[in-house]
Amino acid sequence: MITLRAIGRNSKGAKLRTIFRLAISQRQLSSSATNTNTTNDDSSKDENKNITKCISDAEIKKSVFISQSYDIFTNLALEDWLYRNFDFRHHHVLLLWANEPCVVIGRHQNPFLETNVSKIMANGIILARRSSGGGAVFHDRGNLNCTFFTPRERYNRKYNLNILTRALFREWAIKADINKRDDIVINEKKISGTAAKLGHPNAYHHCTLLVNANKTHLGDSLVREEATYIGKATASKKSAIKNLCDVNSTVNIAQLLSAIGYEFLRTSATELEDGGNIQTMKQRGFQLINPTEKWFPGIDVLRHEFSSWEWIVGKTPTFSVEKELALKTDGDKQLIMKLSVGVEKGLMADINIVMPNGDRLPVITQFQNKSFNEKNLNNIVGALKLASTDNVKQAINGL
């Protein structure tokens, strides 16, 4: 039920070339795990910096972790668990992972500004919010995600991106460039986007690689509801995209995973120096990772947090949305106005009709303090369009 009330004036398949270690043991995990919660203690930060600087490249081992999960919330939890708990001073890690179809937004984004949440969920596409910044991306099994973990002092985005471009050139002679925004592009079309989380003592940089992603689903999933959104959330920058399989039809996820992993292992820890097979043999190699509570105590709690409404929608920065509304008056005449909805912590807190002269007419509705989504927004619009002429007149005359 919706009523109008006048109360005065108010003014977001190739085969791998290595024998995988089928599991990473709990002993290996515990040897690298540590309590690395972000701290504001300057003395602790300085101590970590000094220790990190004293470690030479020869003392740093590398591993390529491959997640065996295709669940976005599990993979985000795994990424966060490693960031929080691992000691990367002597051990750099590249995590490779993929997901079932989903739209993943940045930490500071408004999901409704980036996608039509109601539509994608009806189509079986999951919405997720990650811990890092950056823009919205579409994931499916044709998209490979790469996360580079290091201590904060060794964070080097250009190094990581060059690992990817060198792997593409070494394996398929594909020449890709890194643009000013740190996207990887081919002929100015984007094949990889990038984002990061910088803390103390750890940091990570992650990026995507479009291999054979469903471009129709990608395009449809990143189209929002037609409305005017007003707020301070970080907005994505639209770019033309390209799949790697459109550049070279032999590119596939399995072979790409292997190529990137080998490029990472054969390259010196902090410099883009190719050590070849000798360098590779010194590393810890490829390790298949099973992101379960048994292997990573506490990961279930993290997954629950990442999959919660409070994180995905409730963390949306405060915003308002306006949508044009035509209400019937006398005869066939229509009065063109706007529906304005203020949203705080994902809930519809303030619902008004904005009159042509700028006056605001509060709407009393059962949707007040309910979760905002496009379906609810359009339900309000539909109900208002059915409001009686007398109801509209009384509301207007009350002003």
Task: Pinpoint the alpha helices (H) of the chain.
Answer: 26-32, 42-53, 72-85, 111-114, 117-122, 157-172, 215-221, 253-266, 276-281, 299-307, 309-312, 374-385, 389-398
| Domains observed in the chain | 54-313 (3.30.930.10), 319-397 (no CATH)
Q: Return the closest-CA partner of residue 144 out of 99, 89, 190.
A: 99
**Spatial separation of the C-alpha atoms in residues 39 and 199, rounded to whole Å:** 9
Output the pLDDT for position 25: 46
Question: What sign results for the dihedral spanned by CA atoms 112, 118, 123, 127?
Answer: positive
Angle subtended by helix axes 299-307 and 72-85, to nearest 10? 130
Angle of helix 253-266 versus helix 157-172 axis, rounded to 10: 120
Question: What are phi and psi for residue 185, nearest 5 degrees?
Answer: -130, 155
Ranges in the chain, pLDDT < 50: 1-27, 30, 39, 398-399
Q: What tokens does 278 get?
A: 């000798």
Query: What's the number of CA atoms in the CB half-sphere (13 Å) around residue 278?
Result: 5
pLDDT score at 376 = 94
> What's the CA gap between 140 and 255, in Å, rounded?
17
pLDDT tens digit sequence for 6-43:
333 333 333 333 333 333 444 455 456 655 555 455 65
Tokens of 187: 């002929």
